[in-house]
Chains A and B, each alone.
Chain A
């Protein structure tokens, strides 16, 4: 699965996710990636999120929307919201990760697995990539 979250110069946020799903999926199984609020979500003034992992758990936790709700309603920072959301996914058995961005373009990664291919760039910082 691949995903992106962005803040543009006008202060607008967007998120997108794309995937082939999981190897050997059957019966028309659909994971969280195309489910708005589960694997993908964006709301100006709050956050933009794209998730990757065992999709069923991200759907049950409304993971992407949950990050934004934690920011808007609970007043958490984007880092706290990303971390607590991925812990909530893990608490019911799911694993994976997510990227999140707040209204100011602050980036956070939440991860409860061994690694996630990821990267950032902004008006002030050069391209950076990480895996583990």
Chain B
């Protein structure tokens, strides 16, 4: 029987010259690992909802990608995670915004879809719902990665300089 899976790991200014062969191989390995997980679900007759959740959990656990561990930092230096899931068979959907302690936000989105009458929960309430539904919790420090922190420092330098011209040159 036919089944299919497609994924993305983010888009943007990805320049060939700046992506080393080693880094490219890491990204492709990460994508392949996620596809393999989804493939295993679908090949055994699992549902599309199970497949997209399982696939995204792999990408969320991979620090290369901007989701879960490896997420970018807000201006305040914290990680706030968003996720959504939708079941085409039922038109049910679930989403979370600004969550900080759920290891796999896509699973929290699915919990909103299946275990609440709501579609979108945000921030403190979503974090609380996650605890109440027994999803795996982590210290927010879990999401920290040095490259993302360095990106925030570069962002701060650029944007603070724009606001405060006195310190434009250090």
CB pair A48 B105 closer than 8 Å = no
CB pair A25 B11 closer than 8 Å = no
CB pair B123 A28 closer than 8 Å = yes
Option from A16, A28, A121 in Cβ contact (under 8 Å) with B53: A16
CB pair A113 B13 closer than 8 Å = yes
A79 within 8 A of B: no
CB pair B74 A14 closer than 8 Å = no
Interface of B is mostly: mixed
A interface residues (Cβ-Cβ under 8 A, vs B): 1-10, 12-26, 28, 30-31, 33-36, 39-44, 46, 48, 50, 52-53, 95-101, 104-107, 109, 111, 113-124, 127, 129, 131-132
- Jot down 22 A-B pairs with beta carbons below 8 A, ordered by A: A2-B34, A5-B5, A6-B5, A7-B4, A14-B85, A15-B52, A16-B55, A16-B84, A23-B151, A35-B84, A36-B93, A40-B93, A52-B11, A95-B12, A99-B7, A109-B6, A114-B15, A116-B14, A117-B14, A120-B4, A121-B5, A131-B14
Give the CA-CA distance A1 to B27 in the complex, in Å. 13
CB pair B70 A20 closer than 8 Å = yes
CB pair B95 A36 closer than 8 Å = yes
Residues from chain A with Cβ under 8 Å of B120 in the complex: 34-36
Give the CA-CA distance A114 to B105 in the complex, in Å. 28
Residues from chain A with Cβ under 8 Å of B143 in the complex: 20
CB pair B12 A20 closer than 8 Å = no
Instruction: Encode contact with A along B49-91: 1 for CB under 8 Å, 0 otherwise.
Output: 1011101100110000111101111111001111111111101
B163: min CB distance to chain A, Å: 12
